[in-house]
Every structure is written in C-alpha cells, then in structure tokens.
Amino acid sequence: MAAIEQVILVDEFDRPQGTAEKLEAHRLGLCHRAFSVFLYRNNHTIELLIQQRAKEKYHSPSLWTNTCCSHPRPEENTLDAAKRRLFEELGVKLPLHSIGKFHYIAHFDNGLTENEVDHVVIGELIDEKIEPNPDEVQDIHWISIADLQNELALHPEKFTPWLGGVLDRVAKYFQKKGF
C-alpha cells in the first residue's frame, strides 16, 4: 500500500503553515508549496523541454507543461524534491537551481484547485539521456522560449494554467543572462 502523499501548507509568502494530504489540499484549495522544473539546452538559442502530461493525471491530463512539476514532501528541501521528481518522471539526474517563485490559483473542471507558491527551478541538459515514465509523461518536445510564448498566447487551452507564470520567470532569467 502506497503512503499517503502529504504537501506543505504555506501562506502566500511561502511561510510553512502545516501539512495536508495532497488530494485534500487540492479539493479544499489550500495554499501549498510546489515546484516547476524547466530543463534547457543551449543550441545557439535557449530551448526548453516541455512535456505532455499523461492521460491518467488527476488534473490537467494531456496538457503541455514545463519539464516536470510536483510538491516537496514535509521535511524535504524543494531542490531535492525537484531532483527526485525529475528522475521519477524523466529518468534524469543533474544539478538544478532555483530562479524565483510566484503564487497562483487555478480551478479545474473536476472540482480541484491549485493554490500554490510555485518555486521555479532550472537545469541545463547536456549529455543526459531522457527516459520518460509513461505513467507521468505522454510526450516531450524541445521548443524555443519565443515559440513557446507564441503557442501559449495562441492556444492557451493546450497548456497547464501555471505554465505562463513559470515561463515568464524563465524568460526573464535568460534575458538577464543576455540570451
């Protein structure tokens, strides 16, 4: 029997407020900590790895999103949690670093609500092999920041509601770096 997954409840400033069972936090719309990872490669332009979520996901099935996302467990460092999920979803191990966070709320047709302080995490993929877990990931695709911004503007229904906030922070990060 699998352990019941817990999330860290936080206020809008990311200060811990306790814990809750993951699905219950989403049912009640409780604010909790999350992370969104973007892997990138530099082929004379920055390209981001996006994934199409598996059809069986409890919300946002088959939508395109950042490389991977999830929640740290109680007592788990956010970067360690991001590394754990990146390996579980895509079989990749590499250094990651945080580039900021933001708060968002999204309501879903199935009655669940994402109310998250989302930590944006990035890592550069150089030689690592990607092995998507079919229980988590339906497809993957490399795309430039500009093309992803354009696709998100033209077809927002194909993407998760948090992707825009994550992409904004990643685009600003690379803009500051001169890309």
Q: What is the pLDDT of residues 114-124, one digit of tens each?
A: 999 999 999 99
* Structure confidence at residue 2 (pLDDT): 56
What architecture does CATH give domain 6-176?
Answer: Alpha-Beta Complex (3.90)
Q: What is the pLDDT of residues 78-110, one digit of tens each?
A: 999 999 999 999 999 999 999 999 999 999 988
Which residues are marked as active site?
A: 69, 116
Hey, where are the domains in the chain?
A: 6-176
Contacts 24+ apart (CB under 8 A), 70-74: 70/34, 70/35, 71/5, 71/7, 71/8, 71/22, 71/32, 71/33, 71/34, 71/35, 72/8, 72/33, 72/35, 73/5, 73/6, 73/7, 73/8, 74/6, 74/7, 74/8, 74/19
pTM: 0.94
In this predicted structure, the answer to whether residue 1 has a pLDDT above a threshold of 80 is: no
Q: What is the pLDDT of residues 26-66, one digit of tens each?
A: 999 999 999 999 999 998 899 999 999 999 887 888 999 99
